[in-house]
Amino acid sequence: MGEISEKITYLRERLEYYGKKYYVDDEPEISDAEYDRMFYELKALEDEHPEFYDPNSPTVRIGGKALDKFEKIVHSFPLKSLADVFSYDEVKAFCERMSKYGEMEYSVESKIDGLSVAVRYENGLLVYGATRGDGLVGENVTANLKTIQSLPLKIPYKGTLELRGEVFMPRESFEALNAEREANEEQPFANPRNAAAGSLRQLDSKITASRKLDVFMFNLQYCDKSFETHTDTLEFMSKQGFNVLPCRYTASSAEQIIECIEKIGGMRNSLFYDIDGVVIKVNSLEMRGIIGENTNTPKWAIAYKFPPEQKETTLIDITVQVGRTGVLTPTAELEPVRLAGTTVSRATLHNIDFIREKNIRIGDRVIVQKAGDIIPEIVSAKGTPGLLSFEMPKFCPSCNYPTIKDDESATRCTNIACPAQLMRNLIHFASKDAMDIDGMGPAVVRLLREQGLVNGVADIYALKADQLEGLERMGKKSAENLINAIEESKGRGLARLLYALGIRQVGEKAAQTISSVYPDIDMLFDATPEQLCEIDDVGEITARYITEFFSHESTRETVESLKKAGVLTTSVKVALENNLFEGKTFVLTGKLPDMTRDEAEELIKKHGGKTSGSVSRKTDYVLAGEDAGSKLTKARELDIAVIDQEEFLRMIGKDQAF
């Protein structure tokens, strides 16, 4: 047993060493095949001898047992955000404020576009890692962080050490992940940051391991060893084996800082990871203590955010797709160009008015950027002479039915039986936020349509297991599971059904509000636009769309078929705990620390209140979380009470969310 223990220890030490040389130092010393041989030899020994288990063994990087939920961790030191600036004038103003404290040296660093985490080490071992959360309380994602190869599980320093880092997804990993998702007909991630955030918060760490995340450390939160400058702490972290923030410089004036910003910005396209700005920090740790901090941000640091990156490319073609509400959407087919971390080859053109306003023509050179670094859009066109103007098709490209241009600048197919609309309607009907039919994604819907098994939403409830068993990728167990999911969806209630039916401008929130006023779907067949306008979240246009929808004979036929199939077409009653919020209307905005919006809405309804999607003078409370937007601004303008999660829970007599 002593020999086995020594062998396991030797393999762990060697793998840690070779892993650091490969993932951190970029100086591999052995081949991948030799590393894999040692890794699987160690794994086999650990499996045979669980008495030698070590939570920091290199083998934990492949992921372990899935969790039920994430535990909460209170950060020892708050993970504050930085004040953003967007111009060099603001950078100069910051330096001028700092100059009041004397001559100053700054650390100028690339701002990684990822998500912030804190990691803690004691006696040389990783104790835990947590997400930023709200800055005070985060989620324990230790098991997932251990799958990141560049994060050391053991370090030479034996004291207490707490660091802050940025987890990100390298561009190569992001492109591979999205290619895989598209092959599986899953929704691709919008950008590497979203992909990294979703990957780090997986309950199954094996999924996280497969996503190949990385991490850069950028701040020393705590160490029982003293340092003079921030630069000293970065060098110390590097010596401990951490992948320390690259692209960093020191500067002593605003002019030098701007030079560094230009230099880092010039590297942006050549890096293997995304950056969205530059962080400027006072380098002296003693001086930081003198300058002090605001409530949520330090006074001694700012983040300069890059303007949206723009590239010129050629508009090859304009294609038109039919959406589930019949709207024809023109899409620009572009010569592929690298933009804000991804390769862009398509961009939405919205409608014909947008195309005319920008003078967009096939064959022209166009300027492309990503709105919010996420959605590709065309900013302008060169205006090359001799190119033909684009016109929207007069007949639907899916069913060849005549199209019309409505009062919203949209070109629309007038055929409610249009195959393109039907396909998207079925996908929407079965989606998670609608009827939530697990296992009935786009691929399955397409298969059912091709086989002629489903020609409308009501047909879903007539499906039998034996009809499905012989279909491609659909065995007996899968067929039974889908039929069970369809059966379960029958009891979702009227609000979910209204949203699932795809009525124009009726989203989840409006559907809930409508179902509270008209608790039986039959009542909506007789409702007038004037009556519907009296409902919160329903304006004149939405009211007209609702009455138009319920005026069609096909709608009545569909509803009757759903009723016969046993689908609940009345509102689901929420069991009240009390009437604390009776007559009170809440609007939710931003991300709450410990609960989803759906969970918060459920609590509001259980206490007799109701929710709305927009802020008005009828609103009593705005429940705001992190990154709250325009709703919070409007609430302040109207002097409406704004509460956070903690205050909300205190109002209902709870210490924690769930």
> How high is the pLDDT of residue 65?
67
More confident residue, 351 or 371: 351
> How high is the pLDDT of residue 6?
86
- When pLDDT is averaged across residues 483-493 and rounded to a whole number, the result is 94
Within a domain: residue 62? no
Q: Is 70 exceeded by the pLDDT of residue 39?
A: yes
Mean pLDDT of the chain: 88
331 forms beta bridges with 319, 348
Query: In 3D, which of 425, 618, 593, 595 has the Cα closest to residue 513?
Result: 618
Q: Are residues 484 and 629 in the same domain?
A: no
* C-alpha separations of 266 from 260, 417, 639, 651 in Å: 10, 52, 45, 51
- When pLDDT is averaged across residues 628-641 and rounded to a whole number, the result is 85
Q: Is 90 exceeded by the pLDDT of residue 136?
A: no
- When pLDDT is averaged across residues 53-78 and rounded to a whole number, the result is 80
Amino acid at 341: G
> How high is the pLDDT of residue 657?
55
Ordered alpha helix ranges (H), 490-520 = 494-500, 508-517
More confident residue, 505 or 279: 279
Q: Which residues of 119-157 are buried (b: 16+ CB within 10 A; e: fewer)?
A: bbbeebebebbbbbbbeebbbbbbbbbbbbbbbbbbbeb
Q: Are residues 321 and 295 in the same domain?
A: no
Domain boundary residue, one of 435, 455, 489: 489
More confident residue, 307 or 460: 460
Domain boundary residue, one of 489, 510, 537: 489
Domain boundary residue, one of 403, 431, 464: 403
Q: Are residues 148 and 220 in the same domain?
A: yes
> How high is the pLDDT of residue 574?
65
Judge whether 320 and 328 are in contact, CB under 8 Å. Answer: yes
Q: Are residues 511 and 469 in the same domain?
A: no
Ordered alpha helix ranges (H), 25-118 = 32-48, 88-99
Q: Are residues 314 and 296 in the same domain?
A: no
Within a domain: residue 637? yes
Within a domain: residue 67? no
> How high is the pLDDT of residue 315?
96
Within a domain: residue 64? no
Within a domain: residue 505? yes
**Joined tokens for residue 420:** 């393109």
* pLDDT-based confidence at residue 66 (cuts at 50, 70, 90): low
Q: Compute the half-sphere exposure of residue 577: CA atoms within 13 Å on the CB side of its CA.
A: 12
Q: Are residues 300 and 354 in the same domain?
A: no
Q: Is 70 exceeded by the pLDDT of residue 283?
A: yes
**Active site residues per annotation:** 111
Query: In 3D, which of 272, 134, 136, 248 has the Cα closest to residue 590?
Result: 134
Output the domain CATH number for residue 347. 2.40.50.140
Query: In 3D, which of 183, 59, 77 has the Cα closest to residue 120?
Result: 77
Within a domain: residue 410? no
Helix (H) or strand (E) holding 458: none
Output the domain CATH number for residue 558. 1.10.150.20
Q: Are residues 177 and 262 in the same domain?
A: yes
- When pLDDT is averaged across residues 156-174 and rounded to a whole number, the result is 93
Lowest-confidence range among 73-77, 87-91, 420-424? 420-424
Amino acid at 51: E
- When pLDDT is averaged across residues 470-475 and rounded to a whole number, the result is 79
Q: Are residues 247 and 348 in the same domain?
A: no
Q: Are residues 514 and 463 in the same domain?
A: no
Based on the structure, what is the number of domains in the chain? 6
197-251: pLDDT as tens digits:
888 988 888 889 899 999 999 999 999 999 999 999 999 999 999 999 888 999 9
Amino acid at 171: R
> How high is the pLDDT of residue 170?
92
Q: Which domain holds residue 438?
A: 419-489
Question: What global pTM score does this model have?
Answer: 0.57
In the chain, the N- to C-terminal Cα span, in Å, equals 47
Q: Is 60 exceeded by the pLDDT of residue 533?
A: yes
> How high is the pLDDT of residue 575?
67
Within a domain: residue 49? yes
Q: Are residues 502 and 476 in the same domain?
A: no
Q: Strand 115-122 vs strand 125-131: parallel, antiparallel, or unpaired?
A: antiparallel
Judge whether 456 and 418 are in contact, CB under 8 Å. Answer: no
DSSP at 388: P
**Joined tokens for residue 372:** 């919010």
Query: In 3D, which of 497, 486, 489 has the Cα closest to residue 522?
Result: 497
Output the domain CATH number for residue 593. 3.40.50.10190
Q: Is 70 exceeded by the pLDDT of residue 408?
A: no
Q: Compute the half-sphere exposure of residue 395: CA atoms within 13 Å on the CB side of its CA.
A: 4
Q: Are residues 87 and 232 in the same domain?
A: yes
110-129: pLDDT as tens digits:
999 899 999 999 999 999 99
- When pLDDT is averaged across residues 291-304 and rounded to a whole number, the result is 91
Output the domain CATH number for residue 226. 3.30.470.30
* pLDDT-based confidence at residue 621 (cuts at 50, 70, 90): very high
Q: Are residues 229 and 334 in the same domain?
A: no
> How high is the pLDDT of residue 99?
94
Query: Strand, helix or coil at 188?
Result: coil
Within a domain: residue 42? yes
547-591: pLDDT as tens digits:
988 988 888 999 999 999 999 999 877 667 788 898 899 999 888
388-407: pLDDT as tens digits:
999 999 999 988 888 888 76
* pLDDT-based confidence at residue 417 (cuts at 50, 70, 90): low
> How high is the pLDDT of residue 228?
96
* pLDDT-based confidence at residue 105 (cuts at 50, 70, 90): very high
